[in-house]
């Protein structure tokens, strides 16, 4: 069982045990892992906002009458959230990817088998046009990455408006037929579809 799945099942076990508690030893035996692993899992769940009370040696329980608020959404919104979580699971660092896997698991139960099958059959990022990365742009980006240069980008936003970004390229991530540029700007990290870059200028 993956860690993400185990985290979900631990929360379910605590809900079933409420208002009682479960010891780390009991949980470890249930999931065939060490108590040390359960201590780390509990710390992860608490850090993520799950209202768990208790500590090693005393047992763990869900705080009464607390928890995340109910979420209301349309089926399409649930499908879009699943696709976003899937993309994060594929491209994010380990902790964020684990959280994204947990979100996927929750949404899969909401969507059901038929809706999930339709969602899985769709590309994570659907092209709405015939744009493709220009070879010269790709070459310039790779050169900027190698030389650690800042760049200025003229970009076509998804609403077809013009945008401009200045920053340092951090990574080029392929997602299917699409390439995503991660750019470090003064305002933080931005993620841009490379096929929408219209002009790129290297800066010292």
For residues 161-182, average pLDDT = 86
pLDDT at 94 over 80: no
pLDDT at 72 over 60: yes
- What are 26's two structure tokens? 């009991």
pLDDT at 65 over 60: no
pLDDT at 177 over 90: no
pLDDT tens readout for residues 19-54 = 788 999 999 999 999 988 988 898 888 877 788 887
Q: What is the CATH number of domain 3-62?
A: 1.10.10.10
For residues 4-9, average pLDDT = 88
- What are 88's two structure tokens? 């994060």
Confidence of residue 71 (pLDDT cuts 50, 70, 90): low
CATH number of 135-203, picked from 1.10.10.60, 3.30.70.20, 2.30.30.520, 3.40.50.150: 2.30.30.520
- Please tell me the distance from the alpha carbon of residue 107 to that of residue 123, in angstroms, as a whole number: 18
Identify the burial level of 105 via C-beta atoms within 10 angstroms of its C-beta, where 0-12 means exposed, 13-18 middle and 19 or more buried. Answer: middle
Q: In the 8-state DSSP scheme, what is residue 22?
A: B
């Amino acid at each position: 069982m993956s860690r993400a799945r185990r985290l979900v099942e631990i929360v379910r076990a605590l809900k079933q045990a409420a208002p009682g508690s479960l010891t780390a030893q009991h949980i470890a035996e249930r999931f065939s892992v060490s108590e040390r692993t359960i201590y780390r899992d509990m710390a992860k769940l608490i850090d993520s906002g799950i209202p768990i009370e208790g500590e090693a040696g005393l047992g763990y329980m869900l705080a009464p009458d607390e928890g995340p608020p109910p979420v209301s959404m349309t089926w399409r919104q649930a499908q879009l959230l699943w696709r976003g979580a899937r993309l994060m699971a594929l491209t994010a660092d380990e902790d964020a990817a684990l959280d994204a896997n947990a979100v996927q698991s929750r949404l899969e139960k909401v969507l059901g088998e038929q809706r999930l099958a339709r969602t899985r059959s769709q590309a994570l990022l659907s092209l709405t046009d015939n744009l493709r990365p220009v070879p010269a742009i790709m070459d310039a980006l790779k050169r900027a990455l190698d030389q650690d240069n800042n760049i200025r980008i003229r970009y076509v936003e998804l609403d077809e408006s013009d945008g401009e970004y200045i920053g340092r390229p951090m990574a080029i991530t392929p997602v299917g037929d699409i390439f995503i540029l991660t750019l470090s700007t003064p305002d933080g990290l931005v993620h841009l579809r490379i096929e929408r870059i219209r002009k790129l200028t290297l800066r010292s």
